[in-house]
Chains A and B, each alone.
Chain A
Amino acid sequence: AQSVAQPEDQVNVAEGNPLTVKCTYSVSGNPYLFWYVQYPNRGLQFLLKYITGDNLVKGSYGFEAEFNKSQTSFHLKKPSALVSDSALYFCAVSPYSGYSTLTFGKGTMLLVSP
């Protein structure tokens, strides 16, 4: 069975500084990997995904994520944080082959201070 770990419940960063939200995964074979964002009282919104190819994936709102197969990680990054980036971020994984649903991590709250 696949699993996702987001080791930090909360990440604090000052506006203008780079941010990283960590994610590690466990899956049989190659993975599909996703990042979603949730603003208060809203549904989850898709940010980016890795299926195959370039290990650096660019997504919405200036976010990017780096796939590292040897470390089974898929960390979310942004060069310069905005206060409006403050939200709950979820990493998700499913195996590349065979039918399987996405498994989500428990989420990391990102707080960007002015």
Chain B
Amino acid sequence: NAGVTQTPKFQVLKTGQSMTLQCAQDMNHNSMYWYRQDPGMGLRLIYYSASEGTTDKGEVPNGYNVSRLNKREFSLRLESAAPSQTSVYFCASSWDRGNTIYFGEGSWLTVV
């Protein structure tokens, strides 16, 4: 049971570089999410996709873009990485609003 799979698990970037975090779920969920986790801040929503073909901004969208490639895949792109984007990123999915959210194992990103 793969659930939610995200890659890469670890990445070090230089300031100004770009990269894409990949996420795929095999549970046929409609909704997908990208969160970031920082010490003392809990989880903050970056972007979400309520259903295939739609994306919406969350609490902290600046500096990020997303693509809902199909029902399974939801990628997060950093166009020009900044040290403030050093964080742990989690992809998640759910059937719909109010349903249980299932999380991936996280991607540790360091921007130097």
Among A37-52, those with CB < 8 Å from B are 41-46, 49, 51
Chain A: minimal CB distance from B109 (Å): 14
B108's closest neighbor in chain A, by CB?
A41
B74 within 8 A of A: no
Contact A104 B42 (CB under 8 A): yes
Contact residues of A: prevailing secondary structure: loop
Contact A32 B98 (CB under 8 A): yes
Contact A105 B42 (CB under 8 A): yes
Contact B42 A43 (CB under 8 A): no
| Complex CA distance for A106 and B27, rounded to whole angstroms | 28
Contact B97 A94 (CB under 8 A): yes
Q: How many positions in chain B have a CB within 8 Å of any CB in the partner chain?
A: 23
| Complex CA distance for A103 and B43, rounded to whole angstroms | 8
Chain B: minimal CB distance from A86 (Å): 18
Of A42, A43, A49, A98, which is within 8 A of B100 by CB?
A49
If A101-B48, A106-B41 touch, whether A43 touches B58 (CB-CB below 8 Å) is no
Contact A100 B97 (CB under 8 A): yes
If A43-B105, A45-B103 touch, whether A94 touches B43 (CB-CB below 8 Å) is no
